[in-house]
Amino acid sequence: MIELIPAIDIIDGKCVRLEQGNYNLKKVYSANPEEVALQFEGMGVRRLHLVDLDGAKAGHVINLDVLEKVASQTSLLIDFGGGVKTGEDLRSVFDAGARMATAGSIAVKNPELVREWLKVYGPEKIILGADVNKGMIAIQGWQEQTELELFEFVGNWMKAGIKQIICTDIAVDGMLTGPSVDLYTKLRDAFPELEIIASGGVSGIKDILELEEKGLDGVIFGKAFYEGKLRENEIRNYLKSV
């Protein structure tokens, strides 16, 4: 079984999607993210990937109120990402109802702090965000390219105690062209003990089934659902079958 994890990306308090991380290619799907979250919960989904895109770009958490609303109105297990850069950011995110937080840019900019978070909160609460562009890690809402190679980056963080990653291939994110199956297969082979969540490019239920076949632990989907390529009944049926 692969865990189905819907994504709600937030800009200005609204549920949006971008293409390849481009903030200029933004499409608003709902002004009420909490209603979208309730819809997912009604399908039988248990986990939600909530991303503060404003926060990712600004470097500090901005849409905390959206997290609070979703957490208070649903029983979804929320993993939160975007702008978590300080211990105070992390505490506020957990206090607002997130069960897990993603360390993406901060894992590059301030790895010592993330190591401290792993000690204080445990690896079940801290997810490594590995956003990749042509094999290299990108940060700051994908606006900044680094010289860090994906597999080396992941391997180093596994040594530090990370047990779960969300890996997004920027090239296919929001494009509905299918996920980077080869990339995820190589990650699975290289790190068999790591919990790997695929993100980006899902175009329908066939992609989810293919990632399941490759042994991925979870898959994040967004645009495929919002654009009607992945239908509610398909999600319900899959969740009933496992």
Residues annotated catalytic, as ranges: 9, 131
> DSSP code of 106?
H
The C-alpha atoms of residue 95 and residue 84 are separated, in whole angstroms, by 13
Helices (H) and strands (E) in the chain, counts: 11, 12
CA 100 to the chain's CA centroid: 11
